[in-house]
Structure 1
């Protein structure tokens, strides 16, 4: 494969702005951890309602994924990103001013629609504007902005914790600020050149490709996209089950479900519950959310550095096996009421393993493995499965913890990670350094 005459600054700039959609994901993902102690009191939540309130974001995300796939293939990538930002801004204010549990859950569901759209369209857009040699790093920028969103939100939550019983309103309402910033940034973005070429707007696509990588890159990409689209009908939902694309779709869904059911997101969303088990104070619980955010950010940078060097598959294998072992240790520490300091060490180790493997690499693979003609639709289905799995995970954790003890679910997550190791070993092929068109027809299960 020929190297691209890459306009690195321009490509990084548009990738980073698109990836700010990940910041919105990180914000709503993290804000609930700091707000839950206040929401439990304000709304009088039991285990069932705590799980449903937390998981209602995921239900909205599932709707957002379906909308995003349709919008992306019909109208392009930019309009969907703009709509996601607007929805998120309005819903953040809606949650902040909620007075009843039903109204709050409805607003969190609507926020999920925006997050679901952004989580589908941001990595999809980045993959389509990035030359192969930097695609893994650029798509990982989306994960970087997610973890930056988590860290900043945890810091804000920590700072607001002593501001009174209505601190949670400020925690949610401040989400309108990055949403409006993202909206302004997306207005500046060009449309995906691959989508423009696919829809017959070749001159517009060529102009953007020229700015990304020069004349040779234009010719090579346009030719490859047109060949991948040749003699194909407009895709329908049934297309996803055709023999030649079904293996890639199933692998994408499997990776998406694994990223969630591996269990790490109960650590992000229920940090206070987990550390309360070993006697940590509220201040210590919120401090742990900050520590988790810092470690998550540092090791996401490690993943970005290594994803186009070590490759996708080795990192996924190390991640699934490492998490399985660490969960066994965490379960034992919780069962035996270990010190919060010792528990913190192994929780942070689990975060570091996840941040260098399943967290970013799943998004990279989902953005890469689908053929051009179905990428928008297939990506939305895979991410729909991801959010469905997230809902199952966060909804069931408070209930399982109440029935089995806080340590009990971690035995289950350890087993799921072992199954995930087998799944990756058997089904995932390495994708680093290949163009999206070179990957077409090759990503099949063994």
Structure 2
């Protein structure tokens, strides 16, 4: 046997250092996601004056990015399954850089819209592939927090951009802001885009994608760094076995068992948005103004919302692999339901002048940040079979972006027609349904390998999966064929 095969298991800290560094690089895609979705909030007022935009055009200036995101998410699966996760992420980083520059330079509103859609393509791709990539490279015991790094990076990007926009806006007077300030807000996004692009060249390709392409010799050294000798070889065997059971066709998702995985992915993705989080995040100042807060007070309260979102996302990183995905979803969606019911009742009765609405909006945001925010992205990256994970995750991600677009566009009309009380109660009903759906349908995936999660659907046990699988199977010695590092041939490991 080769010298590589006789290597002792690597210390856990060494493997985790490698995995954490790789995951941080991939999570930078989340930073771009948060930065690009939030930067327009500081620029839109100056753009409205610069291009003389009406209300419809203001809405289009904000939502055009989401159209690009929908298309990017839809195409990310096919592209990543064909060309690899790493190459498509590099392509997405280039699209983001082009979009940032293009949004900063145009002399026409049409030019800006085109550039925002190009940037949206990149964001749609990274929002789908960064969590997926992290899931495919992380050990099962740490996968939740490493994938959730993407959501942490997203809220970090949103939080930071508030201060970036404020600093740029304060650099000159109103005339400078209208002429140049908003351009710098978009243009500065080139810096994190370039950093993401450069660092991507130093991370490996997904080992599961390499094995899918019948390139186990390239996958094994990556898995050795993550798991050590015996566990890496067992991982190769498990991944190889999972591909034997899969056709690679999307039709497989409509077969009994896996059909449930598709339903769970698409429904959870949509519920993350229709429970109202982006309505609250995008329109927080207007909500607080409706409670009687002045302009300055509403802006301070909005920053407080962003801070709570940031802090409780950090808490989710600590809890997700300890408590589990399902438990966080149940507790979070339950508290969101309570919060939205109280907020709706406050508006219905007219008792909005005190701190009540602010307290429960903060509780709602905290509950989302510790549950649906990070957990949905983790589950989407885990539940689909290896061979079609890229395509299936893209379908769910596209559903998420479509729901985001619908909620973002419908929230202002809902406030005007149905009123704030009924609007928040509708979001509360969606949160209640999320709690029920999680309880009845969503399995617990904490501590399971991706291949073990796949068997939950195929053997019909997903609905009853409430505890992590024993790790004994992954600690077993390799049985069967694994790739020899010197010859590249599959050899017997019994």
Where do residues 128-139 of structure 1 align in structure 2 (5 Å cutoff)?
A: 128-139=136-147
For this pair of structures, how many residues does the alignment match? 443
Alpha carbons of 1:410 and 1:339: their partners in 2 closer, same or farther (altered >3 Å)? same
Alpha carbons of 1:141 and 1:231: their partners in 2 closer, same or farther (altered >3 Å)? closer
* Counterpart position of 1:423: 437
Does 2:27 match 1:14? no
* Counterpart position of 1:329: 342
1:173 to 187, 192, 195: 187
* Counterpart position of 1:394: 408
RMSD: 2.2
Please report how far the alpha carbon of residue 175 of structure 1 lies from its aligned counterpart in structure 2 after TM superposition.
Answer: 1.2
Does 2:444 match 1:436? no
* Counterpart position of 1:277: 290
* Counterpart position of 2:424: 410
Please report how far the alpha carbon of residue 416 of structure 1 lies from its aligned counterpart in structure 2 after TM superposition.
Answer: 1.0
Please report how far the alpha carbon of residue 445 of structure 1 lies from its aligned counterpart in structure 2 after TM superposition.
Answer: 5.0
1:291 to 288, 298, 304: 304
Does 2:160 match 1:152? yes
**CA shift digits 1:306-365 (9 cap, x unpaired):** 111111111101111211221233334456373485543332221111100000000111
SS at match of 1:377: helix
2:264 to 226, 239, 251: 251
* Counterpart position of 1:105: 113
Alignment partners' CA distance in 1, 2:453 and 2:334: 27
Please report how far the alpha carbon of residue 302 of structure 1 lies from its aligned counterpart in structure 2 after TM superposition.
Answer: 0.7
Does 2:389 match 1:381? no
Please report how far the alpha carbon of residue 49 of structure 1 lies from its aligned counterpart in structure 2 after TM superposition.
Answer: 4.1
Between stretches 24-33 and 429-438, larger displacement belongs to 24-33
Alignment partners' CA distance in 2, 1:40 and 1:123: 35
Q: Report if the CA contact (8 A) 2:10-2:229 is conserved.
A: no
Q: Report if the CA contact (8 A) 1:51-1:399 is conserved.
A: no
Does 2:208 match 1:194? yes
Q: Report if the CA contact (8 A) 1:53-1:105 is conserved.
A: yes
Alignment partners' CA distance in 2, 1:29 and 1:220: 41
Alignment partners' CA distance in 2, 1:309 and 1:302: 11
Alignment partners' CA distance in 2, 1:341 and 1:175: 36
Alignment partners' CA distance in 2, 1:399 and 1:46: 16
Please report how far the alpha carbon of residue 40 of structure 1 lies from its aligned counterpart in structure 2 after TM superposition.
Answer: 4.6
* Counterpart position of 1:308: 321
* Counterpart position of 2:473: none
SS at match of 1:370: coil
Between stretches 29-38 and 304-313, larger displacement belongs to 29-38
Instruction: List gaps (5 residues or longer) in structure 2.
Output: 1-8, 465-494
Alignment partners' CA distance in 2, 1:40 and 1:440: 50
Please report how far the alpha carbon of residue 129 of structure 1 lies from its aligned counterpart in structure 2 after TM superposition.
Answer: 0.6
Alpha carbons of 1:136 and 1:105: their partners in 2 closer, same or farther (altered >3 Å)? same
Does 2:220 match 1:212? no
**CA shift digits 1:258-297 (9 cap, x unpaired):** 0011101112122233233345455444433432222111
Does 2:246 match 1:221? no
Alpha carbons of 1:419 and 1:306: their partners in 2 closer, same or farther (altered >3 Å)? same
Alpha carbons of 1:147 and 1:418: their partners in 2 closer, same or farther (altered >3 Å)? same
Where do residues 358-373 of structure 1 align in structure 2 (5 Å cutoff)?
A: 358-373=372-387
Instruction: List gaps (5 residues or longer) in structure 1.
Output: none
SS at match of 1:188: coil
Alignment partners' CA distance in 1, 2:338 and 2:104: 40
1:317 to 327, 330, 338: 330
TM-score, normalised with respect to structure 1: 0.93
TM-score, normalised with respect to structure 2: 0.84
SS at match of 2:455: coil
Please report how far the alpha carbon of residue 57 of structure 1 lies from its aligned counterpart in structure 2 after TM superposition.
Answer: 1.9
Q: Report if the CA contact (8 A) 1:52-1:395 is conserved.
A: no
Alignment partners' CA distance in 2, 1:341 and 1:168: 34
Alignment partners' CA distance in 2, 1:413 and 1:41: 34
Please report how far the alpha carbon of residue 64 of structure 1 lies from its aligned counterpart in structure 2 after TM superposition.
Answer: 0.7
Alpha carbons of 1:185 and 1:284: their partners in 2 closer, same or farther (altered >3 Å)? farther
Does 2:76 match 1:62? no
* Counterpart position of 1:89: 97
Please report how far the alpha carbon of residue 422 of structure 1 lies from its aligned counterpart in structure 2 after TM superposition.
Answer: 1.3
SS at match of 1:272: helix
Q: Which has the larger radius of gyration?
A: 2
* Counterpart position of 1:121: 129
Q: Report if the CA contact (8 A) 1:312-1:361 is conserved.
A: yes
* Counterpart position of 2:244: 230
Alignment partners' CA distance in 2, 1:417 and 1:309: 23
